[in-house]
């Protein structure tokens, strides 16, 4: 069925009764009408429909399936397809232990794309620059607009101006130390407000240009990904696997988060989808052993790149940091100069906590790169500045969404330009 007839279905007068397992708590007529109305109001695409569903049912309960079933009905999905879709989805949700709709939106969208046979539209915004602009819109709206407003309201660069400017930096999560440093530099170098943006741009660019540690690259290249639970490690491993695989490399992903059974499955699902190698042991096994054997497999089977996902929390009383440094050490037993890179994944929405986390993880195993995730969902992109300045660790990529291609190489001058535009 084409998209056109699906749209027609949306606009047809009244849908028939939905009666499958999950809808025994049938929606009332009012509920149906209101949902149908909401579906009609939004742009007619999968992410928007899933958005409506998630507004109506933020929690995955029986009634969530009722609404989802009704949504599929509206979209004209045949009865049999619909019930098999709901059965597989609900057993996946159960296995993964998800309870919030927001946690499954990207998976749900992916499955709906397949079910409805609609092409993914992720390529629509082709230029990286425009993706950046879009992804960083929340950060920019706060940070940049405030700076520009203050500049236009100011005649002379007096004490009051600098205090107001400092407040803008602090509320954008640039952090106290970084703010102090930047303001001092600015006071030193800016004499007319016309030069302000240009000077700030050059200060920020310099902050972002940290030296990369140079490591002799043998094959396989071993990359270890660390960070707290929910930071976006597993997703980032998948995104990186996608980047390397698209360059024609043979990639192996290793499920080192043995704490959550769901984490292993999540990675396995990504590996299947991306067609990259996958290595895991059972849930609860020693993550250092998983890393050791994973790297062994990569050597034996001639992989180009190994990406090792790790836990962000442990079920035993063992200290997470000890566990990570053990993983780090056993990798070296396989290849002395590995891991070639330890990547710390930081959720940009956590603001100043990122500093504490960097400190902590850096003690467990020296961090070579930082990837900032969820910059699409925060007004606190200033944390990038704080982390880069404080630790001199390069930010190499930024996460701008949940889809597989929403990981962009971090380019200091581009990032600064977008931030200050
Ligand atoms: N909006 C947004 N969500 C992200 C990004 N990266 C990861 N996520 C989401 O954050 C949640 C946690 O990610 P996950 O990879 O499981 O985190 P982990 O516990 O560190 O492995 C998931 O719902 C991801 O889809 C990003 O760049 N932007
Ligand atoms: Mg994970």
The per-residue DSSP string of 221-285 comes to EEEEEE--TTSSHHHHHHHHHHHHHHTT--EEEEEE--S-HHHHHHHHHHHHHHT-EEE---TTS
Residue 21 has pLDDT above 60, yes or no: no
Q: How far is the CA of 62 from the centre of ligand 2 (A)?
A: 27
Each residue's pLDDT tens digit, 165-200: 999 888 877 888 889 999 999 999 998 889 999 999
Cβ atoms of 16 and 73 within 8 Å: the answer is: yes
The per-residue DSSP string of 317-359 comes to SS-HHHHHHHHHHHHHHHSTT--SEEEEEEEGGGTTHHHHHHH
Rounded distance between C-alpha atoms, residue 282 and residue 261, angstroms? 8
Banded model confidence at residue 272, pLDDT cuts 50, 70, 90: very high
Q: Are strands 395-399 and 221-226 parallel, antiparallel or unpaired?
A: unpaired
Q: What is the C-alpha R_g of the chain?
A: 24
Q: How far is the CA of 287 from the centre of ligand 2 (A)?
A: 13
Residue 6 has pLDDT above 60, yes or no: no
pLDDT of residue 342: 96
pLDDT of residue 214: 59
Cβ atoms of 274 and 405 within 8 Å: the answer is: no
Residue 276 has pLDDT above 80, yes or no: yes
Other C-beta atoms closer than 10 Å to the C-beta of 69 total: 23
Residue 390 has pLDDT above 90, yes or no: no
Question: Which ligand has the shortest distance to the CA of 98?
Answer: 1
Residues 6+ apart with CB under 8 A from 123: none
Each residue's pLDDT tens digit, 102-140: 888 888 888 887 787 655 444 332 334 455 556 666 666
Q: By alpha-carbon position, which residue is closest to atom 19 of ligand 1? A: 230
Q: How far is the CA of 154 from the centre of ligand 1 (A)?
A: 41
Residue 295 has pLDDT above 80, yes or no: yes
259 vs 327 pLDDT, higher one: 327
152: its two tokens: 């236009």
Closest-CA residue to 373 (of 420, 406, 340) = 406
Cβ atoms of 210 and 388 within 8 Å: the answer is: yes
Residue 8 has pLDDT above 70, yes or no: no
- Taking a 5 Å cut-off on Cβ, the residues next to ion ligand 2 are 233-234, 257, 263
For the chain, the residue count is 421
Q: By alpha-carbon position, which residue is closest to atom 23 of ligand 1? A: 103
pLDDT of residue 9: 43
Residue 369 has pLDDT above 90, yes or no: yes
334 vs 205 pLDDT, higher one: 334
Task: Give the chain's mean pLDDT.
Answer: 83
In the chain the first and final C-alpha atoms are separated, in Å, by 44
pLDDT of residue 318: 61
Q: How far is the CA of 353 from the centre of ligand 2 (A)?
A: 19
Cβ atoms of 421 and 140 within 8 Å: the answer is: yes
Average confidence (pLDDT) over 31-41: 81
Banded model confidence at residue 410, pLDDT cuts 50, 70, 90: confident
Each residue's pLDDT tens digit, 342-364: 999 999 888 778 888 898 899 88
Question: Which ligand has the shortest distance to the CA of 375?
Answer: 1
Closest atom of ligand 1 to 257 CA is: 21
Closest atom of ligand 1 to 260 CA is: 19
Three-class DSSP category at 369: strand
Residue 292 has pLDDT above 90, yes or no: yes
Q: Which range among 147-156, 280-289, 350-359, 376-385 shows the weakest confidence by mean pLDDT?
A: 376-385
Each residue's pLDDT tens digit, 197-234: 999 999 988 888 876 665 666 789 999 999 988 899 99
Q: How far is the CA of 231 from the centre of ligand 1 (A)?
A: 6
Which of 50, 232, 258, 271 has most ligand 1 atoms within 8 Å of its beta carbon, as the pocket-test mutant?
232
Q: Please name each of the domains of the chain with its CATH number.
A: 3-116 (no CATH), 141-208 (1.20.120), 221-420 (3.40.50.300)
Return the percentage of the chain with pLDDT > 70, whole number. Answer: 84
Question: Which ligand has the shortest distance to the CA of 261?
Answer: 2
When mean pLDDT is compared over 37-46, 196-205, 317-326, the highest value belongs to 196-205
Closest-CA residue to 303 (of 217, 218, 216, 220) = 220
Q: How far is the CA of 326 from the centre of ligand 2 (A)?
A: 18
Return the percentage of the chain with pLDDT > 90, whole number. Answer: 40
Q: Which range among 66-80, 111-125, 289-303, 310-324 shows the weakest confidence by mean pLDDT?
A: 111-125
DSSP annotation of 190: -
Rounded distance between C-alpha atoms, residue 223 and residue 216, angstroms? 13
Which residues' Cβ are closer than 6 Å to ligand 1?
A: 103, 106, 227, 229-235, 312, 373-374, 376-377, 399-402, 406
Q: How far is the CA of 102 from the centre of ligand 1 (A)?
A: 11
351: its two tokens: 């603001």
At which residue do the structure tokens 């009722």 appear? 66
Closest-CA residue to 75 (of 39, 30, 42, 33) = 39
Which of 235, 357, 372 has most ligand 1 atoms within 8 Å of its beta carbon, as the pocket-test mutant?
235
Q: Which range among 39-48, 239-248, 359-368 shows the weakest confidence by mean pLDDT?
A: 39-48
């Amino acid at each position: 069925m084409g998209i056109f007839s699906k749209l027609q279905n949306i606009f047809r007068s009244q849908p028939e009764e939905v009666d499958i397992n999950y809808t025994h708590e049938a929606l009332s007529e009012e509920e149906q009408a209101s949902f149908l109305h909401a579906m009609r109001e939004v742009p007619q695409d999968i992410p928007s429909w899933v958005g409506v569903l998630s507004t109506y049912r933020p929690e995955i309960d029986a009634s969530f399936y009722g609404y989802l079933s009704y949504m599929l009905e509206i979209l004209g999905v045949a009865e049999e397809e619909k019930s098999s879709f709901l059965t597989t989805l609900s057993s996946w949700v159960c296995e993964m232990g998800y309870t919030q709709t927001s946690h499954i939106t990207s998976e749900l969208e992916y499955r709906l794309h397949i079910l409805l046979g609609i092409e993914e539209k992720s390529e629509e915004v082709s230029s990286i620059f425009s993706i950046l602009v879009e992804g960083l819109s929340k950060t920019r709206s706060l940070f940049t607009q405030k700076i520009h407003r203050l500049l236009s309201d100011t005649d002379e660069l007096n004490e009051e101006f600098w205090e107001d400017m400092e407040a803008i930096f602090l509320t954008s999560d640039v952090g106290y130390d970084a703010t102090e440093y930047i303001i001092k530099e600015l006071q030193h170098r800016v004499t007319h407000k016309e030069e302000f943006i240009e000077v700030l741009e050059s200060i920020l660019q310099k902050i972002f240009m940290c030296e990369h540690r140079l490591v002799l690259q043998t094959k396989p290249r071993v990359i270890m990904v660390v960070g707290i639970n929910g930071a976006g490690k597993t997703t980032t491993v998948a995104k990186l696997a996608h980047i390397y695989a698209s360059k024609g490399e043979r990639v192996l992903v290793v499920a080192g988060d043995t704490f959550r059974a769901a984490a292993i499955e999540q990675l396995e699902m990504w590996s299947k989808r991306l067609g990259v190698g996958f290595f895991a042991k059972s849930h609860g096994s020693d993550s250092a052993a998983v890393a050791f054997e994973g790297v062994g497999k990569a050597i034996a089977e001639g992989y180009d790149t190994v990406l090792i996902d790790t836990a962000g929390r442990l079920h035993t009383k063992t200290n997470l940091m000890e566990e990570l440094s053990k993983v780090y050490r056993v990798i070296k037993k396989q290849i002395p100069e590995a891991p070639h890179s330890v990547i710390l994944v930081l959720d940009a929405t956590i603001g100043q906590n990122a500093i504490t986390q960097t400190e902590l993880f850096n003690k467990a195993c020296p961090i070579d790169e930082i990837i900032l995730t969820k910059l699409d969902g925060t007004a606190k992109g200033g944390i990038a500045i704080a982390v880069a300045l404080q630790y001199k660790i390069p930010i190499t990529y930024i996460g701008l969404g949940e889809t597989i291609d929403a990981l962009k190489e971090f380019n200091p001058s581009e990032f600064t330009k977008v931030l200050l535009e």
